[in-house]
Amino acid sequence: MNRQTWLTGITTSGTPHLGNYVGAIRPAIEASRAGDRDGYYFLADYHALIKGHDPERLRRSRREIAAAWLALGLDTERATFYRQSDIPEILELTWMLTCLTAKGLMNRAHAYKALVQANAEVDEEGETLEPDRGITMGLFNYPILMSADILMFRATHVPVGRDQVQHLEMARDIAQRFNHHYGERLVLPEAVVDDDVATLAGLDGRKMSKSYDNTIPLFETSKRLRKSIMKIVTNSLEPGVPKEPEGSALFEIHRAFASEAQSAAYRQAFLDGIAWGEAKQQLFELVDGVLAEPRERYEELMANPERIEKVLVAGAERARETSRPFLAELREAVGIA
């Protein structure tokens, strides 16, 4: 049986929140400990440039996200952890792939189509906008850069949400086209979609997302964590009145951090009519307890950024042991060696 290679990218576009931890960080770190695969985990800082143009925010996000993954237990002795921008071979491969990718394929990307559709809607003055208004080539070509991230390290498996499956299909299409012209050089990756991974609700009940400004930062202080949890929107049911656990943001977050026994007890408390203030206090105590030790490690790393840098530099060197010779092979294949 061939050894598998799993790859995960983390866009450095903000501060990690509870939803990131439950939906992406925790399952990826657990997967990194599997002995039957090689793991590549990278900070997708070039991807962050597509929507963000604040240099200081990008620098801060790179530190915060790297510190979060390390504090939560990513084993960098077994997994390769690096910054995308430290691997110049990725951008060279991106251009090679761009020269083979049909524009029509990029036209079908969901994110691009959604923005074109938004521009087609009539504005307040009764006029329609230019179809490509506000759309950069970075956003348009995003699937090609993502393909290069994956294909450079010959990833066999890429965990993604359902909204990203199309990009994996595009990566396969692009790789097949390259292989058709230059021989079987690129590995066709498989998308791995885990429908059991939790999606958390945010402060307002919608999906926790920076886009909605409804997130709970992963490593804010204990005092601020409690304040955030107390802001979670609930209904007006009085203490003593039975409450439905399913559909409650409080119960959803609690379940993501609790053991089966803890979750069952919390469910029963809802059915028994627990007061919302008490339900929030219990949720705070649970989450705060789970995150206490990782928070301490995170704060130590943030106070010593040279430790983060040392890990990332070592990861980049390890990654380039693969990317340098592979790019040399690809340059030879296309005729520019």
> What pLDDT, on the 0 to 100 scale, is given for residue 122?
63
How far is 13 from 69, CA to CA, in rounded Å? 15
Angle (CA) 145-148-151 rounded to 5° is 150
The three-state secondary structure class of 220 is coil
> What pLDDT, on the 0 to 100 scale, is given for residue 121?
79
> What pLDDT, on the 0 to 100 scale, is given for residue 330?
98
38 within 8 A of 88, measured Cβ to Cβ: no
253 within 8 A of 283, measured Cβ to Cβ: yes
Per-run averaged pLDDT (10 residues), the chain, 337 residues: 86 90 88 86 95 93 96 93 98 98 96 90 73 93 97 94 90 98 97 79 90 91 96 95 94 95 97 97 97 97 97 98 98 95
The token pair that represents 117 in the structure block:
């559709």
The token pair that represents 314 in the structure block:
């070592």
Domains, the chain, in order of start with CATH, read: 4-199+304-334 (3.40.50.620), 219-300 (1.10.240.10)
Residues 103-113 as b/e (b if ≥16 CB within 10 A, e otherwise) read eeebeebebbe
pTM, two decimals, is 0.90
The three-state secondary structure class of 207 is strand
> What pLDDT, on the 0 to 100 scale, is given for residue 72?
95
CB atoms within 10 A of CB 55: 9
> What pLDDT, on the 0 to 100 scale, is given for residue 36?
82
For the chain, the average pLDDT equals: 93
Q: Supply φ then ψ for residue 80, to 5 degrees.
A: -95, 120
Q: Supply φ then ψ for residue 131, to 5 degrees.
A: -55, -35
